[in-house]
Amino acid sequence: MSRTTVASVPNSPRDPHAERILVHRGHDTVQTPQQVAVIGGGIAGLAAATALAERSVDVTVFEATPQLGGRVSSWPVGGGRNMSRGFHAFFRQYYNLRALLRRTDPQLHRLTPVADYPLRTAQGLTDSFASIPRTPPLNLAAFVLQSPTFPLAGLATVDLASAFELIDLEFPASLSRYDGESAADFLDRLRFPDGARHLALEVFARSFFAHPRDFAARELVTMFHTYFTGSAEGLLFDVPEDDFNTSLWDPLAEYLHTLVVNVQRSQPVEHIKQQDGRWQVTTTEGHAVFDAVVLAADPRTSRNLIADLDGHDAALSDLQDRVQRRRNAPPFAILRLWFNGTVRSDRAAFLGTSGYQLLDNISVLERFETSAHTWSQQHGGSVVELHAYAVDPPAEPGSDNGQRIRSALLADMHEVYPETRDLSIVAEEYLLEDDCGLADMAPLHDQPTVTTGLSNLVLAGDWLRCDVPVALMERAATTGFLAANELLAGWNVTGHDLESPPRRGLLRRTAAGRMLRKAVLGGTAAEPAGSNQPSRIRSK
């Protein structure tokens, strides 16, 4: 068997319309000592801790678990085997996450490109993005011409006004138009062919661990824009060459150590309290006082800590109200299997699936992960991971529903990769988690943001509203940097410039596009309010 090998990972955006976010300019480092608690050692917390420590801020990171990385963490389970929270694709649009990783890997050698992102329906139709141009609108035309899920005849059913919305976005001004609309409702009025509709719902919506009727249309159109209709990076992605902590977070922890960051693992925070202009942070080991707090814990923990804040300030009441209206997405299940034999050599490293009982994607880990490849070489077997998003609770390992989920995933795997029927399972790990925020249809203005209205308390995480087109891991990294920048600006310290995919869709960023927009949309083509106002975001 062979591992995935293709060209090296790019080190800078290839999209000429990618934008640089310019931030506050001031002193190079803090002029008076500042102590900051970063609550949460996932991507958002690590980005915030890195950005602050690089400006000579005294940072303490409190992480509730033994390992860093949050939902992108991994850990050994014995016998040369590792487990993780599941497969993550590091898309080329993840500019700020990649900037964080370059702190310890300047050329991104620890990321391995995956050659294709095939998507298969239960009807046997398979979409591939390997041969599709990456630059819009060529990618759109090529997809329609090549996709078996989007026959040309299907164009006649598409609602053009709704379709034009996918290339007529401006961030964040356009997003309020989707207040109260679900992804399913948007696709109802879009009238995509059934195959393409399932592709959009299953791949984009369910990657947020959500049922399509509960998932916000604005997140769906943001995903379309970020990954396909608005960015020239394409749907190509990279994966770590080994398990997440070996490849990513252990090196970053060493880097933070050189910056004298105090990383406290297995230290869940129980309470935070504003006291005499500073913040008291209480853990299972006691309490300490800090000048500022970056709350970058998982959504449920963050909500609980904010709910417990004391005070009658109007800003606090508003924050608590908005945060408490948020909720978590349904649980997701991961089943990792170690077999006594290998799957076929032509199987993709990663396959997205749609229309099966529960299976949402399947990964063959020895194709790209060093430790899995080593185990495979030593034992002559494959390491396969199965994902099921938005499962019905309760679904813990050993429960009746947990067993049902396991059985359904195995049955789906046997249908997708029939040769696995004849393989014996040497070892397995079943993991159930429900700590992802739900990207719901609440009005945009009601979504919590990095700023809280409270002095020296900022939020970070992928559950927050972010006014640039980012999602998932990149939203976590971006909000982590933004949270640090907010504190640094308050101390008149230069922040960290960021990068973003284009904020404007195709119809808004060229003269030809604007003419087409006016011709097609006519009187509905007015610019959103504020779109012509000066911005601190400038094109590269």
Instruction: Check pLDDT > 70 for residue 169.
Output: yes
Mean pLDDT of 383-397: 87
Same domain membership, residue 269 and residue 189 = no
Structure confidence at residue 532 as a pLDDT band (50, 70, 90):
very low
Q: Where are the beta strands (DSSP E) in 92-157?
A: 111-114, 119-121, 126-127
Question: Does one domain contain both 313 and 449?
Answer: yes
pLDDT at 156: 77
Return the pLDDT at 210. 80
Average pLDDT of the residues in 389-415: 88
% of residues, the chain, pLDDT over 70? 89
Which string of DSSP letters, residue by residue, matches 187-215?
A: HHHHT--HHHHHHIIIIIIGGGT--TTTS
Average pLDDT over residues 120-130: 75
Q: Is 218 found in the same domain as 135?
A: yes
Higher pLDDT, 511 or 377: 377
Residue 54 sits in a domain whose CATH number is 3.50.50.60
The pair of structure tokens assigned to 351 is 């396959």
- pLDDT-derived band at 401 (thresholds 50, 70, 90) equals confident
The DSSP 8-state label assigned to residue 227 in this structure reads: I
Summarize the confidence of residues 483-502 as an average pLDDT: 97
Domain-terminating residue out of 412, 433, 454? 433
Whether residues 194 and 208 fall in one domain: yes
Q: What is the pLDDT of residues 335-354, one digit of tens each?
A: 999 999 999 999 989 998 88
Domain identity same for 225 and 252:
no
Closest by alpha carbon to 45, among 65, 62, 24, 29? 62
pLDDT tops 50 at residue 3:
no
Of 133-142, 302-311, 325-334, 351-360, which range is least confident?
Answer: 133-142
**Dist. CA 280–CA 454, nearest whole Å:** 14
pLDDT at residue 127, as a whole number: 72
Of 409, 433, 457, the residue that ends a domain is 433
pLDDT band at 533 (very low <50, low <70, confident <90, very high): very low
Looking at the structure, do residues 344 and 256 belong to the same domain, yes or no?
no
Question: How do residues 283-295 score in pLDDT, each as one tens digit?
Answer: 989 999 999 999 9
Q: Are residues 303 and 366 in the same domain?
A: no
pLDDT score at 246: 96
* φ, ψ at 282 (rounded to 5°): -110, 125
**Residue 304 within a domain:** yes
Tokens of residue 48, six digits:
């915030």
Q: Considering the domain boundaries, does residue 493 fall inside one?
A: yes
Burial 383-402 (b: 16+ CB within 10 A, else e): bbbbbbbbbeeebeeeeebb
CA separation (Å) from 474 to 24, 38, 160, 435, 482? 21, 18, 30, 18, 12
Residue 362: closest CA among 327, 329, 333, 387: 387
Looking at the chain, how many residues does it have? Answer: 540
Report which of residues 203 and 274 the model is more confident about.
274
Are 247 and 112 within 8 A, CB to CB? no
Number of domains in the chain: 3
Interval 65-94: pLDDT, tens: 999 999 999 999 999 999 998 888 899 999
Q: What is the pLDDT of residue 153?
A: 67
Give domain status of residue 85, yes or no.
Answer: no
φ/ψ of 362, rounded to 5, equals: -140, 135
- Owning domain of residue 495: 23-74+94-109+243-328+441-500
Calculate the alpha carbon distances from 139 to 153, 232, 323 in Å. 19, 9, 38
Whether residue 345 is found in the same domain as residue 291: no
Amino acid at 176: S
Q: Please say if the pLDDT value at position 453 is more than 60.
A: yes
**pLDDT score of 203:** 62
On the question of pLDDT at 158 being above 90, the answer is no
Does residue 254 register a pLDDT over 50?
yes
SS3 state of residue 120: strand
CA distance 245 to 256: 14
Within-domain flag for 290: yes
Q: What is the DSSP letter of 249?
A: I
Residues 159 and 186 in one domain: yes
What is the pLDDT of the chain when averaged over all its residues? 88
pTM above 0.85, yes or no: yes
Instruction: Name the strand (E) or helix (H) holding 232.
Output: none
pLDDT bin (cut points 50, 70, 90) of residue 9 is: low
Say yes or no: 218 and 302 in one domain: no
Which residue has better confidence, 3 or 468?
Answer: 468
Which residues fall within 8 angstroms of residue 200, CB to CB, at 6 or more apart? Answer: 183, 187, 192, 220, 224
Q: Which pLDDT score is estimated for 159?
A: 86
Residue 381 lies in a domain: yes
Q: 269 in a domain, yes or no?
A: yes
Count CB-CB contacts under 10 A for residue 266: 13
Whether 260 is covered by a domain: the verdict is yes
Residue 334 has pLDDT above 60, yes or no: yes
Strand 58-62 relative to strand 35-39: parallel, antiparallel, unpaired?
Answer: parallel
Contact 431, 83 (CB under 8 A): yes
Cis peptide before 172 (omega within 30 of 0): yes
Return the CATH number at 372: 3.90.660.10
Confidence tier at 522 by pLDDT (50, 70, 90): low
DSSP one-letter code for 183: H
pLDDT band at residue 205 using 50, 70 and 90 as cut-offs: low
Residue 104 reports pLDDT greater than 90: yes
User: Is residue 526 scored above 50 in pLDDT?
Assistant: no
* CB neighbour list of residue 322: distance below 8 Å, 6 or more residues apart: 446, 447, 448
Residue 125, H or E segment = none
The strand pairing partners of 58, in sequence order, are 35
In a domain, residue 29? The reply is yes
- 270-274, 373-377, 506-510: least confident range: 506-510
Q: Are residues 196 and 285 in the same domain?
A: no
Tokens 């960023």 found at: 509
Q: What is the CA radius of gyration of the chain?
A: 23
Distance CA 535, CA 94 (A): 22
State yes or no: cis peptide before 394, omega within 30 of 0: yes
Q: Which of helix, strand or coil describes residue 394?
A: coil
pLDDT at 378 over 70: yes
Helices (H), 353-505: 370-379, 400-416, 472-490
455 or 537, higher pLDDT? 455
In angstroms, rounded to a whole number, what is the distance separating the alpha carbons of residues 488 and 512? 41
Tell me, rounded to whole angstroms, the distance of Cα 302 from its chain centroid: 18
CATH number of residue 139's parent domain: 1.10.405
**Among candidate residues 407, 433, 459, the one where a domain is terminated:** 433
Q: Are residues 280 and 320 in the same domain?
A: yes
**CB half-sphere exposure, 449, CA atoms < 13 A:** 15
- How confident is the model over 154-176, as a mean pLDDT? 87
